[in-house]
Structure 1
């Protein structure tokens, strides 16, 4: 895939930044330790709860999804099954890719060449978090072995 020389290092930095952001969210909001999470793609909210009580509320945008069956990533902006108001950040990523000549940000599907689908999902989500200055990201497992990657636009304790 075509990309500028600086892009691989930039993407590695984006993943490092995402990991640091996610570590902070884990420390501050205990993400990963709640007994339940629910996302509602009609409202764009991701909720974390325990014992039937919502504890953390976040607003999200959709980055994309991985498919173990197809061994690829599908950008949210290219998925007609997703609600349009949760795709604005993904569309910014595509515009960034078009401006800079980065194929993996502008092509609907990215093939998992390294045979590490989860790493691919986090790397591309990290690029989106960096481009859109999101607060972090969350991966929701999918039944067929892939994941749905969501980025945090806001996050607060439930009142």
Structure 2
């Protein structure tokens, strides 16, 4: 399996580890350039396929979004975006790429609809989806006290609020 940037190593765990490192570097770049880590609010418009961030200086950031999946802290589960009842198919492309990666490498945690998962593994899922989809970043948004949404996003557009 290949992506836009690299050939996947024979050992999928190496690919996953490299993906996590790439995600960390991308996150650091977003935090340094437009202050992703200081976002006061976030929202997703599923009809437009956009994630929006409100930053403390009155700036707004927006980007195309994909939903990798959701976690539920009540039962410690991750529900993949590729078979999530709340995720439109057009917002699950990166999740589908991760599913195909899992199927190709015999990784049931990528190809089973719902899996036991902690935050560390959810970040791995997001990192792999980001890399496979050629996204520019990842984001975990708190949707409720017990639910988080794991997303990838594309090129960021900044505007004055």
TM-score tier by shorter-chain length is 0.7 to 0.9
Tell me by how many angstroms 1:53 deviates. Answer: 5.0
| Counterpart-to-counterpart distance in 1, 2:104 and 2:39 | 40
Moved more, 87-96 or 16-25: 87-96
Q: Give the TM-score of the pair, scaled to structure 2.
A: 0.84
Q: 1:73·1:110 contact (CA, 8 Å) conserved in 2? A: yes
Runs of 4+ in 1 over 3 A off after TM superposition: 50-54
Give deviations 1:59-112, integer Å, cap 9, x for gaps.
111111111112111110011221121011211221222223222111111213
Structure 2: any 5+ residue segments left out of the alignment? Answer: 1-8
SS at match of 1:28: helix
1:40 aligns with 2:41: no
Tell whether 2:141 aligns with 1:140: yes
Instruction: Give the RMSD, CA atoms, in angstroms.
Output: 2.1
In the superposition, the TM-score normalised over structure 1's length comes to 0.85
- State the partner residue of 1:19: 24
| Structure-2 residue corresponding to 1:111 | 116
Equivalenced residue count is 152
Unmatched 5+ stretches in structure 1: none
- Name the counterpart of 1:85: 90
Q: How far apart, CA to CA, are the structure 2 residues paired with 1:145 and 1:81? A: 16
Deviates more, 1:33-42 or 1:63-72: 33-42
Aligned to 2:60: 55
Name 1:94's counterpart in structure 2: 99
The corresponding residue for 1:72 is 77
